[in-house]
Structure 1
């Protein structure tokens, strides 16, 4: 699995459309063009961004929804760990997991509580399960 690193890669993957959602996360996917001897002009802008036909993944955890850096980093680690379990079931495409709402700070007081990690993990497993079942 390759990781998205540049802003244009993230923007291209987000433009691909939403594949699945949970209350806190959204998964966006951009299907990569098949490797052809002569690439069409409409796919030529995607080719330089993603050189290999593999699963690409990026994680977006904005400060707006996770104020503490510790929480943002813990959520990103969970995203990459759970995605590794689903790598063989995901199509060769660019994926971005985006946190779209915050976890209640009244319920999850600690920035990295085991309860928060479990809630994030369960929701991510649902997200990837739904995405793996969609073509």
Structure 2
């Protein structure tokens, strides 16, 4: 089986989450869906926390969080100590992984079209962390944020 991706959304990101789950499974990934199960209004921090905790517990997993804008999910995941990146294009997704070792991709369904969102997802998943000088900078993030 392939790598495991943990995914969550709120009501504002639910439709894109469904598209991502189908696509990820077609691409050979194992998907853990942390909810929600429908379009009823819900609170994004609860779902961001579920995904962030699973990613934090297992270095082999990556996460995806989707809400209306991506902002709230990004803030919540970062607050929980997981590097999460709100990406609005493929270059940002590539740099978030290669330079910052982002473990969670955040997107806004209401601001990013489905085609672009899928391209961002693909780039995020295909890009590996560059290490070396970038690791030194990540270590500094952990040092200065204490």
**Normalised-by-shorter TM-score class:** 0.3 to 0.5
Give the structure with the larger helix fraction. Answer: 2
Higher relative contact order (CA 8 A, sep 6+): 1
TM-score, length-scaled by structure 2: 0.31
Q: Tell which structure's C-alpha radius of gyration is larger.
A: 1
TM-score, normalised by the number of residues in structure 1: 0.33
